[in-house]
Amino acid sequence: MIEMLEGVDLFEWGGLISGLLCVVLLIKRNIWTWPIGLFYALVSLVVFAKANLYSEVALHVYYVGMNIYGWYFWSRKGEGSLGGEGKGESVPVGRISWRTGAVLLSICLPAVIVLALLMQRFTEAEMVWADSSITVLSLAAMWMTARKLIENWMVWLAVDLLATAVFLAKGINLYALLYFVYTGMAIAGWIAWKKDLHPTNN
């Protein structure tokens, strides 16, 4: 473990700490997950730019916007504002509809292929197929998270497993550790949210 942590920088440490904290808060459905997630996204831009994982850079630009959107969406009725108790209870936990799920799937599959081919042709990006899969699945999962759809946790689980392997291979060790921990947190999130699942689809 000591060898794994050698050579990491402050940006990776910042990403590790803020990344863990924002997921813990997300499991608890606490609105503070969004400003902390925003910090995580900004720090991660630097980490992935240094590693030449360009689709990860693009992904975290998207995360910046989605953290702002999630912050707004969860607090839009005022019940989950940062000035209150911090819980976005104005938005119930729901399930994704079959129609929305089919649309997401029909977008994600070709998007992975197109993104990988573009990176392969026009950049020096490495591990383009795994990287593009992480990016596209994360785009879908982040939108589902902001909309408080419980299936986000299963998509995140797939992302976390794949990302752990990629970051280990690239030597981004703290992020590999972070995403390995995320796998367990994704399962915990599913269990926690299921207890408060709203009966209607979104």
Q: Strand, helix or coil at 138? A: helix
- Structural domain for 44, as ranges: 7-201
Residue 147 lies in a domain: yes
Residue 20 lies in a domain: yes
Give, for 200, the enclosing helix (H) or strand (E).
Answer: strand 197-201
Domain count, the chain: 1
Residue 26 lies in a domain: yes
pTM equals 0.79
User: What confidence tens digit (pLDDT) does each residue in 102-140 have?
Assistant: 999 999 999 999 999 998 888 877 888 998 899 899 999
Residue 2 lies in a domain: no
Cα–Cα distance, 154 to 62 (Å, whole number): 20
User: What confidence tens digit (pLDDT) does each residue in 68-99 have?
Assistant: 999 988 887 544 444 444 444 567 888 999 99
